Amino acid sequence: MFVPLVLAAAAGLVPVCLTQLADTSLFPVGPLASSDIKWNTKVCDVTNYGNATADLGPPLLAAFNACSTGGVVHIPSGTYSMSTFVTLSGGSAWAINLEGTIERAGNVTGGNMIAVTSSTDFELYSGNGEGAIQGYGYKFLSQGSYGPRLLRLTNVTSFAVHDIALVDSPAFHFVMDTCSQGEVFNIIIRGANKGGLDGIDVWGQQIWIHDVEVSNKDECVTVKSPAHNILIEDIYCNWSGGCAMGSLNAGTNISHIQYSNVYSSNANQMYMFKSNGGDGTVTDVLLENFIGHNNAYSLYINGYWSSETVQPGDGVLYDSITFSNWIGDCANGSQRPPIYINCPASMPCTNITIEDVAIWTDAGNEEYYKCANDIDSHGYCLNSDIDFTPNATVTSTVTATPSGWAAPYMPSDLSTGFATDSSIPVPTVPATFFPGATPVTPRAYQESSTYEA
């Protein structure tokens, strides 16, 4: 069990800027009991509870009911059609060991293929490196509609999801709703090149997400409200919408969020805060060590996000946000500024810091930065004074290449997104998610023995 120091920092024990990992009992994340303990408690093989290959849903639910008080729901190697979706509610000290591929079937247009709710000490993982959920989303998307999500956790605590592939969802791929003390890692998500196919959406507290690759042209790994003490690192947005926070509206309540080591290629943005009206606060956010290539936007706070209907309120307050060590290139810096701060005029941003940002344009030979409605902030076009004039905008044109902007590439960068009218193949979880970085946790099949029922 590992504990990100950003979580301990929230208790005032260490500086929030640190990203190293500490083996401590402070704010633990992940399951409480080991896989070995659960395997030795009880094993519920789905193939013993009905025709799991014809429709996994009923056997999966029956296996869960048999192992919900402790044990492992085992899905052996093979292919399992799933037309009956399941909600696995309750349960403690249990796991799903997914060694095969679950393929969506039928025409259910909403819901979740697998939903886990009100559970504790839970783990979903593949021990052989081949576990996957295949949503065949193109069958909906090619008709202009959306279908079910692949995976949703709601009110789940002390959990882990790792070493699996989530592929071609007809809607969102993975949602964590009001979860806590969780860890998500060694995951690849492949979706079509279309909006509405979010990779990972998360809200809750004390959650560590790391070593994840997302392709989908929508949210890569995005924090929503309410959220506290979340560390997200070593993220590969590979032809994606990019990482974000939002959209935010009334009652926004977000604090102590850290993103480190985020690589974005051909994304809508490297990172974007998005709101349009609303109220509440986003505070104590650190966004460090970002690499970008050919992204539309790069560093972006947008308090007037036009894709969201104007919400009641004077605007969300963005306070104490630091952008540090961003390098790379953007698609066209004279059309979309690589530094763009557009805070609400009625609720100006405070204590924004931008440092060590070097992003150059792929098109043309100049770019510009734009900042509006910020107070007592520092760096580039930000306003360091406390005097404030609503809608006052500072722009600066850059005609010389910034020093240190050149950045490494990932070898698996996609040259185009995945189509909406054909199936996406199930990929292998990669060995790296950020240039030069080795995953914190080895693949499950590399570190543990193979279990069979």
Q: What is the pLDDT of residue 450?
A: 41
Residue 386 pLDDT level (bands cut at 50, 70, 90): confident
For 178-215, the pLDDT digits (tens) are 999 999 999 999 999 999 999 999 999 999 999 999 99
Same domain, 247 and 386: yes
CA 82 to chain centre: 25
In a domain, 453, yes or no: no
Residue 145 confidence (pLDDT) above 50: yes
Active-site residue flag, 413: no
Residue owning tokens 């003390």: 181
Residue 27 pLDDT level (bands cut at 50, 70, 90): confident
Structure tokens at 229: 């003490």
Average pLDDT rounded to a whole number, residues 163-186: 98
Query: Which DSSP string do the residues of 361-375 spell out, in sequence order?
Result: ESSSS-EEEEEESEE
Average pLDDT rounded to a whole number, residues 293-307: 97
In a domain, 356, yes or no: yes
In a domain, 420, yes or no: no
Question: Amino acid identity, residue 412?
Answer: S
Q: What is the pLDDT of residue 55?
A: 98
Same domain, 146 and 261: no
In a domain, 430, yes or no: no
In a domain, 3, yes or no: no
Q: What is the pLDDT of residue 168?
A: 98
Residue 447 confidence (pLDDT) above 60: no
Average pLDDT rounded to a whole number, residues 364-389: 93
In a domain, 21, yes or no: no
Same domain, 216 and 283: no
Same domain, 179 and 228: yes
Catalytic residue among 293, 319, 329, 374: 293
Catalytic residue among 218, 234, 284, 374: 218
Residue 26 confidence (pLDDT) above 60: no
Domain count, the chain: 2
The more confident residue out of 6 and 170 is 170
In a domain, 54, yes or no: yes
Helix (H, G, I), strand (E, B) or coil at 287: strand
Same domain, 231 and 259: no
How far apart are alpha carbons 235 and 395 in whole angstroms? 31
Residue 387 pLDDT level (bands cut at 50, 70, 90): confident
* Residue that is last in its domain, among 224, 239, 254: 239
Question: Amino acid identity, residue 215?
Answer: S
Q: What is the pLDDT of residue 385?
A: 85
Residue 392 pLDDT level (bands cut at 50, 70, 90): confident
- Average model confidence (pLDDT) for the chain? 93
Residue 449 pLDDT level (bands cut at 50, 70, 90): very low
Residue 444 confidence (pLDDT) above 90: no
Active-site residue flag, 293: yes
Q: What is the pLDDT of residue 446?
A: 59
Same domain, 306 and 229: no
Same domain, 327 and 384: yes
In a domain, 338, yes or no: yes
Same domain, 336 and 224: no
Residue owning tokens 């977000």: 254
Average pLDDT rounded to a whole number, residues 321-339: 98
Residue 122 CB partners (closer than 8 Å, separation 6+): 31, 91, 92, 94, 95, 116, 153, 156, 158, 159, 160
For 224-241, the pLDDT digits (tens) are 999 999 999 999 999 999
Same domain, 35 and 163: yes
* Residue that is last in its domain, among 175, 210, 239: 239
Same domain, 235 and 246: no
For 48-58, the pLDDT digits (tens) are 999 999 999 99
- Write the CATH number for 408: 2.160.20.10
The residue segments making up the domain with residue 389 are 242-413
Asked whether the beta carbons of 178 and 151 are under 8 A apart, the reply is no
Same domain, 305 and 357: yes
Residue 300 confidence (pLDDT) above 90: yes
Same domain, 222 and 90: yes
